Amino acid sequence: MRFPIARAAGTLLAIETVGLLALAGWQVVALLGDDTMAASSAIALIVLTVIGAVAVAAFAGAVWAARSWGRSGGIVTQLLILAVAVGAVTGPYPQVGTALLLAAPALLGIGLLLAAARSAHRESPDPSGR
Protein backbone atom coordinates (compact mmCIF):
# COMPACT_ATOMS: atom_id res chain seq x y z
CA MET A 1 0.00 0.00 0.00
CA ARG A 2 1.34 3.39 -0.97
CA PHE A 3 -0.23 5.48 1.81
CA PRO A 4 -1.11 3.21 4.76
CA ILE A 5 -1.66 6.11 7.18
CA ALA A 6 -3.93 7.86 4.68
CA ARG A 7 -5.86 4.63 4.20
CA ALA A 8 -6.37 4.32 7.97
CA ALA A 9 -7.56 7.93 8.17
CA GLY A 10 -9.88 7.40 5.20
CA THR A 11 -11.29 4.28 6.82
CA LEU A 12 -12.01 6.18 10.04
CA LEU A 13 -13.80 8.90 8.06
CA ALA A 14 -15.81 6.22 6.24
CA ILE A 15 -16.86 4.74 9.60
CA GLU A 16 -17.92 8.22 10.73
CA THR A 17 -19.96 8.49 7.51
CA VAL A 18 -21.80 5.30 8.46
CA GLY A 19 -22.42 6.81 11.91
CA LEU A 20 -23.92 9.93 10.36
CA LEU A 21 -26.17 7.85 8.12
CA ALA A 22 -27.29 5.84 11.16
CA LEU A 23 -28.07 9.12 12.93
CA ALA A 24 -30.14 10.24 9.92
CA GLY A 25 -32.01 6.91 10.06
CA TRP A 26 -32.69 7.43 13.76
CA GLN A 27 -34.02 10.90 12.98
CA VAL A 28 -36.34 9.47 10.31
CA VAL A 29 -37.66 6.89 12.79
CA ALA A 30 -38.28 9.68 15.32
CA LEU A 31 -40.10 11.70 12.67
CA LEU A 32 -42.29 8.77 11.60
CA GLY A 33 -42.96 7.84 15.23
CA ASP A 34 -44.26 11.35 15.88
CA ASP A 35 -41.44 11.92 18.39
CA THR A 36 -40.68 15.43 17.16
CA MET A 37 -41.94 18.86 18.14
CA ALA A 38 -41.99 20.31 14.61
CA ALA A 39 -41.96 18.15 11.49
CA SER A 40 -40.43 20.90 9.36
CA SER A 41 -37.45 21.26 11.72
CA ALA A 42 -37.03 17.49 11.87
CA ILE A 43 -37.01 17.22 8.08
CA ALA A 44 -34.48 20.05 7.81
CA LEU A 45 -32.25 18.33 10.36
CA ILE A 46 -32.46 15.04 8.45
CA VAL A 47 -31.51 16.78 5.20
CA LEU A 48 -28.56 18.54 6.85
CA THR A 49 -27.40 15.29 8.44
CA VAL A 50 -27.46 13.50 5.08
CA ILE A 51 -25.59 16.40 3.44
CA GLY A 52 -22.99 16.13 6.20
CA ALA A 53 -22.69 12.39 5.61
CA VAL A 54 -22.14 12.96 1.89
CA ALA A 55 -19.43 15.53 2.67
CA VAL A 56 -17.65 13.22 5.12
CA ALA A 57 -17.88 10.38 2.57
CA ALA A 58 -16.23 12.66 0.00
CA PHE A 59 -13.48 13.49 2.50
CA ALA A 60 -13.00 9.77 3.18
CA GLY A 61 -12.61 9.01 -0.52
CA ALA A 62 -10.22 11.91 -1.02
CA VAL A 63 -8.08 10.93 1.97
CA TRP A 64 -8.02 7.32 0.71
CA ALA A 65 -6.77 8.67 -2.65
CA ALA A 66 -4.19 10.90 -0.87
CA ARG A 67 -5.79 14.21 -1.87
CA SER A 68 -4.92 17.13 0.38
CA TRP A 69 -8.41 18.68 0.29
CA GLY A 70 -9.80 15.55 1.90
CA ARG A 71 -7.35 15.80 4.78
CA SER A 72 -8.33 19.42 5.48
CA GLY A 73 -12.01 18.58 5.35
CA GLY A 74 -11.38 15.58 7.57
CA ILE A 75 -9.62 17.70 10.18
CA VAL A 76 -12.53 20.17 10.19
CA THR A 77 -14.88 17.20 10.65
CA GLN A 78 -12.86 15.94 13.62
CA LEU A 79 -12.86 19.41 15.20
CA LEU A 80 -16.64 19.60 14.83
CA ILE A 81 -16.95 16.18 16.51
CA LEU A 82 -14.73 17.44 19.35
CA ALA A 83 -17.02 20.47 19.72
CA VAL A 84 -20.00 18.13 20.09
CA ALA A 85 -18.03 16.11 22.66
CA VAL A 86 -17.32 19.26 24.68
CA GLY A 87 -21.01 20.14 24.48
CA ALA A 88 -21.91 16.69 25.79
CA VAL A 89 -19.82 17.20 28.91
CA THR A 90 -20.99 20.74 29.70
CA GLY A 91 -24.39 22.05 30.69
CA PRO A 92 -26.87 20.99 33.35
CA TYR A 93 -26.80 17.26 32.41
CA PRO A 94 -23.22 16.32 31.52
CA GLN A 95 -22.69 12.99 29.75
CA VAL A 96 -19.02 12.14 30.31
CA GLY A 97 -19.27 8.70 28.71
CA THR A 98 -20.84 10.10 25.56
CA ALA A 99 -18.20 12.83 25.42
CA LEU A 100 -15.41 10.26 25.66
CA LEU A 101 -17.00 8.05 23.00
CA LEU A 102 -17.09 11.04 20.66
CA ALA A 103 -13.72 12.55 21.56
CA ALA A 104 -11.58 9.40 21.32
CA PRO A 105 -12.11 8.69 17.60
CA ALA A 106 -11.96 12.42 16.81
CA LEU A 107 -8.55 12.71 18.47
CA LEU A 108 -7.41 9.55 16.70
CA GLY A 109 -8.68 11.01 13.42
CA ILE A 110 -6.78 14.26 13.93
CA GLY A 111 -3.61 12.30 14.66
CA LEU A 112 -4.03 10.07 11.60
CA LEU A 113 -4.85 12.98 9.30
CA LEU A 114 -1.85 15.01 10.48
CA ALA A 115 0.39 11.96 10.08
CA ALA A 116 -1.03 11.40 6.58
CA ALA A 117 -0.26 15.02 5.68
CA ARG A 118 3.33 14.65 6.90
CA SER A 119 3.69 11.38 5.01
CA ALA A 120 2.33 12.92 1.80
CA HIS A 121 4.73 15.85 2.16
CA ARG A 122 7.72 13.51 2.61
CA GLU A 123 6.75 11.40 -0.41
CA SER A 124 6.02 14.32 -2.75
CA PRO A 125 8.75 15.39 -5.17
CA ASP A 126 10.67 18.52 -4.26
CA PRO A 127 9.38 21.34 -6.52
CA SER A 128 12.85 22.95 -6.61
CA GLY A 129 14.32 19.82 -8.24
CA ARG A 130 16.80 19.05 -5.45
**CA–CA gap between residue 3 and residue 128 (Å, rounded):** 23
Question: What is the chain's alpha carbon radius of gyration, rounded to the nearest angstrom?
Answer: 18
**CA–CA gap between residue 130 and residue 127 (Å, rounded):** 8
pLDDT of residue 121: 79
**CA–CA gap between residue 54 and residue 25 (Å, rounded):** 14
Domain segments of the chain as ranges: 4-121
pLDDT of residue 126: 62
Q: Which of 19, 6, 103, 9 is nearest to 53 (CA)?
A: 19
Phi/psi-derived region of residue 94, left when phi > 0, alpha when psi is between -120 and 50, beta in every other case: beta
pTM of the model: 0.87
pLDDT tens per residue across span 40-97: 999 999 999 999 999 999 999 999 998 999 999 999 999 999 999 999 999 889 999 9
Number of H helices, E strands in the chain: 4, 0
**CA–CA gap between residue 23 and residue 115 (Å, rounded):** 29
